[in-house]
Structure 1
């Protein structure tokens, strides 16, 4: 099936394996993905205390190669990609000319003139189209590599030990936001020390035909350490506790990086012009003089769970909106991220609540993230 065929959900190379494990499957961004295997709470706790195994093959991989690959990415994205060393990675964004966020990305420099851009599944086509359009006039090629990779993540405090038993790659020397080619359980892989859980962990880019073999080897090696397969549901509660933004929730095309409190990813001092520079210069100035709503953490005093879109209120006035909410297995209470007016954004601000179907439930404003691992 081609990447553009949207008639039926796409299936990853691990699809049959997920079903054999009894996974509850769900359509996510046009892919059939495991939501949970048994208990999403148990899967969440396993990642926090031991290790979890994720199929992330729905993510969108785009390879950019050629003598001017770095110049093209500097022009197309808001970050300074030219300064990323070989074997390193960078979190960045691609914006519209009006400064609105099209997607947040991780860019890996895999060789001197080669980069792997990883987009969110829901935006992969949009990012691909934008990069191809922005490549005009640059001596560089933008290649759709979504079918070339399966992506398996092992996350949690036990993940380094589990992976070490399957590879002779120098994991100790592999820093956070770095990637190196290696062999894991006999399978060639790009081993990246990245993740979306708030824990130490690795993301392994492999050929789809090697995915099942690698998953089974990791399952076997990780069993004694408490590793379990994990679905998208616990991935969401893990990233929420870690205060990590999700596109479509904390990040949207109607927000600039400055609105999202992530202005630091925009590098105005890099060489060459970049798409959205003018609008983002204005957004940066605006954020200085008239602070936008601030992304904060909210912790429930009661048991009711806030959901995206629910109004945040204070003294009978709407002061913001919930972007993500869920019960937190680690805190034992419902939590949420929300954009609120700057005047109500300080941790401990009194009188803040969430309007949950007409009832104003009290919430405490707390700094993000809700959870930070002990290093």
Structure 2
């Protein structure tokens, strides 16, 4: 007799989401808001005003101790020891064969303290890998998934909204930096990071403070047009911004070089790191025999491509869609896809997507589809 699947976990804001009429969905073992009303309206709000997200499903792992920097340099592909206190770095954790286990953001909170933020679906895998790789290092790996609620306020109005609730120096807070402060009287790590292609902030706070923080941000943002946003519009926002999603553009079968993100691998850092030899081979292969290239596709018609659909030309399969959706900003369906290098140049003619047996014409474009004006 098979045991029943465990009930989805709920964030500290669960009751609040339900009171707002959110459509909830099981995402990576968490009950999360998919949308509150129209996902298109939520998307447009983030592009033009501001949106408020609950991202408490993300996986926080703290690494501390005199050997924390050395451990992270060994365990991850980036040069984490070179990250200054108060700064953050986008990086990846790979297997010994170079396959991507997850993409991560690492915040250096203090000289010997780091916060590693993993995707919800991979948090346990990342925690296990870091714990295993910590052997021999003077460092502690701690599962802090229950220690944090994570709220994000994203969009052009977000700095003004947040400024009204904190005396932290937001003007001096660069992109990919974080500083401790108080927001609406609540202690929080204030990070200028996000996954929408807009300016914005992610706020790491204690779960018991999450409701106070959400309500204060909602009130402060009302006049600026801030709305609560679910995971559905977060996906279309990151797709327009050309940002990869694990399980779609990134998988354990791909190296960072296959994904066009070889720049995150730092061969010039001190010491060995997991996957180094395999990644060096992958880097060489990418130079001599380019792998499939991640490109943008914009529909000429109205039909929406989905992950897994073949990309075709002259009846031949030349690639595969990794993510697709209607783009509220462009007003047409868009997709990211891996295609053969020979068909990856923007403007390549004759490329289409096989949507249930019908060849739908698409234009190959450079990523991202959307870039905010700074």
Asked whether the two chains share a fold, i.e. TM above 0.5, the reply is yes
Task: Note the C-alpha offset of 1:4.
Answer: 15
1:355 is paired with a residue whose SS is strand
User: Cα deviations across residues 37-77 of structure 1 (Å, max 9, x unaligned)?
Assistant: 00000000000000000000000000000000000000000
Q: CA deviation at 1:360?
A: 0.2
Q: Hey, what does 2:316 align to over in structure 1? A: 317
SS of corresponding position for 1:287? helix
State the distance in 1 between where 2:232 and 2:303 align. 18
CA distance in 2, matches of 1:218, 1:268: 42
How far apart in 2 are the matches of 1:358 and 1:63? 48
In the TM superposition, what whole-angstrom CA distance separates every residue of 1:167-215 from its partner, at most 9, and x where no partner exists? Answer: 0000000000000000000000000000000000000000000000000
Gaps of 5+ in 1: none
Offset from partner CA, 1:78-130 (integer Å, 9 cap, x none):
00000000000000000000000000000000011000000000000000000
CA contact (8 A) 1:6 1:30 kept: no
Query: Match for residue 43 of structure 2?
Result: 44
The CA distance in 2 between the partners of 1:314 and 1:98, in whole Å, is 32
Deviation at 1:315, TM superposition (A): 1.1
Residues 41, 329 of structure 1: 8 Å contact kept: yes
Structure 2 distance, partners of 1:281, 1:347, is: 28
Q: What SS does the corresponding residue of 2:45 show, helix, strand or coil?
A: helix
SS at match of 1:248: coil
1-structure distance, mates of 2:363, 2:5: 42
Number of equivalent positions: 373
CA distance in structure 2 between the aligned counterparts of 1:161 and 1:144, rounded to whole angstroms: 33
Distance in 2, matches of 1:289 and 1:4, equals: 50
SS of residue in 2 equivalent to 1:224 = coil
Counterpart residue number, 2:291: 292
Q: How does 1:1-375 map to 2 (within 5 A)?
A: 7-375=6-374
How much has 1:289 moved relative to structure 2?
0.5
CA separation of 1:65/1:19 partners in 2, compared to 1, >3 Å: closer, same or farther?
Answer: same
Alpha-carbon distance in structure 1 between the residues aligned to 2:162 and 2:289:
48
- Residues in 1 aligned to 2:3 and 2:133: alpha-carbon distance in whole angstroms: 20
Q: Deviations over 1:224-252 (max 9, x none)?
A: 00000000000000000000000000000
In the TM superposition, residue 220 of structure 1 has moved relative to its aligned partner by 0.2
1:254-296 per-residue CA deviation (whole Å, 9 max, x = no partner) reads 0000000000000000001000001000000000000000000
Three-state SS of the structure 2 residue aligned to 1:234 is helix
Paired residue secondary structure (2:223): helix
* Aligned alpha-carbon RMSD (Å): 1.5
The SS at the match of 1:218 is helix
For the structure 1 residues 137 and 199, does the alpha-carbon distance in structure 2 shift closer, same or farther, using more than 3 Å as the test?
same
Secondary structure of 2:91 counterpart: strand
Gaps of 5+ in 2: none
